[in-house]
Amino acid sequence: FLTINQNIQYMMSAGGVVHRVLEGTSMELVLCGRRYPLLWALPKGTPDKGESIEETALREVREETGLEVKVGCSLGSVSYSFTRESDGAHCFKTVHFYLMDAVGGNTSEHDLEFDLVRWFPVQEALKHMTYDEERIVVTRALDLVEATNRRQT
């Protein structure tokens, strides 16, 4: 967090688009959900002191999903602003995302920040996602995965 004054804060977080391929061609994504207020989002969170952006993404994804992941390429970042309800501060936030492969773990081992963590087929995930900015990131991820698959065939 960078506080300019009591009413303005600049924030940063990091997370990932965790994917897996089923039956050679079908792809799924993991989303984190809350029942109230209803929310489906990508895993992400704020850095601990001394963490790099990539280290933050790995830790937050592991904690929020229960999955062990391997970081791939950067998917860029999204920025947005909001007013924090607790103190009325105007916050400007940038979230850095990475494409990630699930290499172990289990979604049942997620932390308590979310009620549910689930794998979704890509198109279903896009329909459920709460934030348009995150849909853009997922679309970027899909384009990269498809381009990589074309080069490998």
pLDDT-derived band at 145 (thresholds 50, 70, 90) equals confident
Pick left, alpha or beta for residue 17 (phi over 0 → left; psi -120 to 50 → alpha; otherwise beta): beta
CA distance 56 to 60: 6
pLDDT at 5 over 70: no
pLDDT-derived band at 26 (thresholds 50, 70, 90) equals confident
**Count of CB atoms situated within 10 Å of the CB of 95:** 23
Q: Are 18 and 100 in contact (CB under 8 A)?
A: yes
pLDDT in tens, 54-63: 999 999 999 9
Place of tokens 């029942």: 35
Q: Are 53 and 14 in contact (CB under 8 A)?
A: yes
